[in-house]
A and B are shown apart, each in its own frame.
Chain A
Amino acid sequence: MKTFFLSFIISLGSALNLYSSDAYLFDLDYEHVNKEFNDLDQIAKIIENNPDYDYHLLSDTYPQLIIDSNLKPDSSIMTNQGNPFLGIPSFLWGCVTGPLGILIAYVGTENDDNEAKKALWGCITQQVLTWGCYFGIVYFGDFSFYTG
């Protein structure tokens, strides 16, 4: 009787423990996850059979597959690549705020050199446009009404 009672308590304890636990957090619907990647599995097989294929060659050979799978041309390891600071293109940071924009684009993207370069081009464009307008007005503008 004592043994039965003890076993009952242990079983009840285990059952309660199972339902009150964090075990549900570790549920994984593996079939569902696999289904999510059906398109990519197909591409992965093509790549496996053609190790020389890069994205461009693949998109030339299987253009529809690229469209259907919505495959990006970059890999998933670079975390911030192509993500400008605050979602504002780095070119605009440089173009609107000048040299300060280069610093913002560089620091804001955690020292991404490429984003800093885009901001630099923005800054150069701003300077070229500003000086271009200035010389255009000075040399080609009609200021005859000033001289009478």
Chain B
Amino acid sequence: MYLRILFVFVIFVFQNVIYSQNFFRIKTDFTIKAKNPSGQQQLTVGKIYYDKKVKQIVYEISFPEKEIWVQKDTSLYKVVNSKIVNRQSVPNMIEFTIYHLAMNGNLADYGLKNSKFKLKKVEKNKKGVISTWEPPVEMKKMVGDVLMMNENQQLAGIVFKNTKGEVISKQFFRNYQKIKGLAFPQEIVKENYIKGQKFYEITTFKNTIINDYSGDQYNYKLPAKK
């Protein structure tokens, strides 16, 4: 009897680990539609390649221009005709991208469970379960609470607040599709707030492939800088 209970407990505890080890690569077509507060619009179309062992996101863009962007560590490189034409410093947030979170089975809690954020409040209502996470002391001067809503144990939305408690950004994860047992959203709607103005960005995914063995874009090697 005790052995059975122990077995069930072990399976329950390690199920995330077992699942997450199964997924290591994701490839998907994407379209980003964005509008800024001045009314200008942007459309970006391409493919994304991500291998969690390589830890670099490769964006193969086909529109507006044919180019490759690579996000690795704290840099974002733009490559045109096999030449690096731009490099920007970006926060090292690869482990908080949906690609990495999904590959590791942490998308449902946006990786917050394994972070320094502390669970402050949980409430259940008709929409789902809303949890509020407060940042660690060392980050409290920079960021505010993060609220997360889960529906059917899937991440449905996340709200980021500033230190004053004002909403600065919202993301809604929609149309989950199960691919090889992995639930991955096919649409993300972002609401960004800048100077009191709200503007939107919609990212749609299609032709999502998990654990693709073909092609070497996942290990894209940056050209040497001349």
Q: Which of A17, A36, A71 contacts B43 (CB 8 A)?
A: A71
Given A44-B33, A55-B65, do A26 and B41 touch, yes or no (CB 8 Å)?
no
| Best-surrounded residue of A30, A37, A77 (most CB of chain B within 10 A) | A77
Is the beta-carbon distance between B44 and A36 smaller than 8 angstroms?
no
Is the beta-carbon distance between B43 and A33 smaller than 8 angstroms?
no
Residues on the B chain within 8 Å of A47, using CB: 43, 45, 62-63
Q: Does B79 contact A (CB under 8 A)?
A: no
Q: Which of B31, B63, B90, B125 contacts A21 (CB 8 A)?
A: B125
Is the beta-carbon distance between B125 and A23 smaller than 8 angstroms?
yes
Given A28-B189, A81-B88, A110-B88, do A54 and B63 touch, yes or no (CB 8 Å)?
yes
Min Cβ gap B154→A in Å is 13
Is the beta-carbon distance between B125 and A17 smaller than 8 angstroms?
yes
Q: Is the interface of B mostly helix, strand, loop or mixed?
A: strand
Q: Which of A23, A53, A69, A113 contacts B130 (CB 8 A)?
A: A23
Question: A4-45, CB under 8 A of B: which get 1 and which 0?
Answer: 000000000010011001110110101001101101110110
Residues on the A chain within 8 Å of B66, using CB: 54
Using a Cβ–Cβ cut-off of 8 Å, how many residues does chain A contribute to the interface with B?
44
Residues on the A chain within 8 Å of B125, using CB: 14, 17-18, 21, 23
Residues on the A chain within 8 Å of B89, using CB: 110-111
Residue of B nearest to A53 (CB): B63
Question: B172-195, CB under 8 A of A: which get 1 and which 0?
Answer: 100000000000000001010000
Instruction: State the CA gap A40–B63 with chains docked (Å).
Output: 13
| Best-surrounded residue of B41, B45, B87, B167 (most CB of chain A within 10 A) | B41
Q: Which of A22, A73, A77 contacts B59 (CB 8 A)?
A: A77
**A59-97 interface (Cβ within 8 A of B):** 69-81
Residues in chain B within 8 A of chain A (CB atoms): 31-35, 39-45, 59, 61-66, 69, 76, 78, 85-90, 123-127, 130, 132, 147, 149, 156-157, 159, 167, 170, 172, 189, 191, 200-202
19 A-B Cβ contacts within 8 A? Answer: A25-B167, A26-B156, A26-B157, A34-B202, A37-B33, A37-B200, A43-B43, A44-B43, A55-B64, A70-B41, A72-B40, A75-B32, A77-B44, A77-B76, A78-B69, A78-B86, A78-B88, A79-B76, A112-B88
Q: Can you add 10 more A-B contacts, CB < 8 Å, to A33-B200, A113-B86?
A: A21-B130, A25-B167, A26-B159, A53-B63, A70-B40, A71-B43, A72-B41, A75-B44, A75-B64, A79-B76
